Chain A
């Protein structure tokens, strides 16, 4: 029998079948009213999640050391965004599965230079009228790459024992070059809210693209701390959850489940799928499973399960009832 072509008209299909009166419009009206009442009651009783977003300013004010550590990491190229690869840069951190590497295929379509966009360019703006900051930035730019690396390494180590005094980050004495002045200058801009605007601007007045700001915040340890406290991280079923006691995107349960199980939790994995390329592997797997769901009518066993499992006998109880009882009801 064809999967797609109906063998007869609807009238022929139902010929001989007992028909009962049916009011489709009344049923839809009742459904609209009923669902509206349920939704109104739920909205009035439970509201909806709306935890205010974090800003670069709130991050810099709440955790100056983390902010400066992250910004220093951007200069050193050691943050997630700096080493991400496509589509942001060519750092080469792309995922692949054998010859399948769509992240590489589509290339650097959303260019983001983390060191320049998050640190150096904002400092260039902030150094206008700030002689000390201007000199420090000049010293950084004229230093050799080796010298910059030495300053970054010693300053990064020192930040592990940094303290905060009057909102400024202080480290033990050492040879950090211009970095302390630069980073405290950036911290001041961030704490004032100026960096939020600088990360959003792109030479145009209207902006709706938050790629740079979100990548910078995403590099921080501050975000991870908040997310862990709200049970939102990947090991806590990630995107499926949301803040508060709300249901979240429960329909993503199967997608997020794969991140919790082997081989996507493993370093070695299976057939080349592992934790390193879990995103690619899981999206690929979910695409295959969704296609399989759509093709259930053509897949033996899957299409036969409804016949084997007698749930349909509960659904159509009346149809399967002994004829005498059905006739009595009719």
Chain B
């Protein structure tokens, strides 16, 4: 949330990044702390000032994607806690299933907007290629997570999707290990491994963004957007 009326100029750096590290005395703990201080000092993780051009609405897409992911996880935890039959047998369960469903739809909508925004900003410039690449991996992993979610619905859609998707998986050789007709395997992946994977990658993505800071605008003189 950028306050355009309060603009200041970036002073000389005062962070740990510019101060020589103390001797570690062989302590792994101290070395780890020094590494964290160097890579992601607290005023980078939770900044209270940002370049004035961060006022663009495009930057909101990243934050609302995270917000949608939070509600996907919260509603998913409630659904998984009460079990796979609950969302079919009770109106409250059906409502939480709907909340999960629409949170997922919003998550993908915001994530795609964020992706396109970052593409047209060439957000990978100035050493940020890894941040972009992890973002793409998050996108692909999220698609797989949502796919296993559709297979775990225990309704006609999950039946039809499973019966058709098996051909793609089998044709690519993946079906021998990733059996979309096996509810237990798909449900386990959907509520456990894949959400942990997406959440972990999102945390890494955010740490990389905060560590490096937002990229500068593309130079007006038109240098290559590398």
Which residues from chain A contact B47 at a C-beta distance below 8 Å? Answer: 22, 24
* Interface residue stretch chosen among A63-71, A161-169, A189-197, A313-321: A313-321
Write out, one digit per residue, whether chain B residues 137-151 have a CB within 8 A of any chain A CB (1) or not (0).
100100100110010
Given contacts A19-B50, A209-B184, are A11 and B13 in contact (CB under 8 A)? yes
Closest A residue, CB atoms, query B115:
A293
Q: Which residue of A lies closest to B158 (CB)?
A: A53
| Binding stretch for chain B, among A101-109, A117-125, A148-156 | A101-109
Residue in A17, A210, A238 whose beta carbon sits within 8 Å of that of B182 in the complex: A210
Is chain B's interface secondary structure helix, strand, loop, or mixed overall?
helix
Report if B183 contacts A (CB, 8 A): yes
* A283:B95 contact, CB within 8 angstroms: no
Is the CB of A157 closer than 8 A to any CB of chain B?
Answer: no
Question: Known interface pairs A11-B15, A15-B10. Does A24 touch B183 (Cβ–Cβ under 8 Å)?
Answer: no
Of all chain B residues, the one with the shortest Cβ separation from A32 is B67
Residues from chain B with a CB closer than 8 A to the CB of A329 are 4
B146 to chain A, nearest CB (A): 6
Stretch at the interface among B27-35, B169-177, B194-202: B169-177
Q: How many of chain B's residues have a CB under 8 angstroms from any CB in A?
A: 114
C-alpha gap A307/B217 in the complex (Å): 10
Contacts A36-B71, A39-B103, A307-B218 known; A48 to B94 CB distance under 8 Å? yes
Query: Quick check: A249 and B146 within 8 Å, CB to CB?
Result: yes
Interface residues, chain B, with chain A CB atoms under 8 Å away: 1-4, 6-10, 12-15, 17-18, 44, 46-56, 58, 60, 63-64, 66-68, 70-71, 87-88, 94-95, 97-103, 105-106, 108, 112, 117, 119-122, 124-130, 132-133, 136-137, 140, 143, 146-147, 150, 153-165, 167-168, 170-177, 179, 181-185, 187, 211-213, 216-218, 220, 222-226
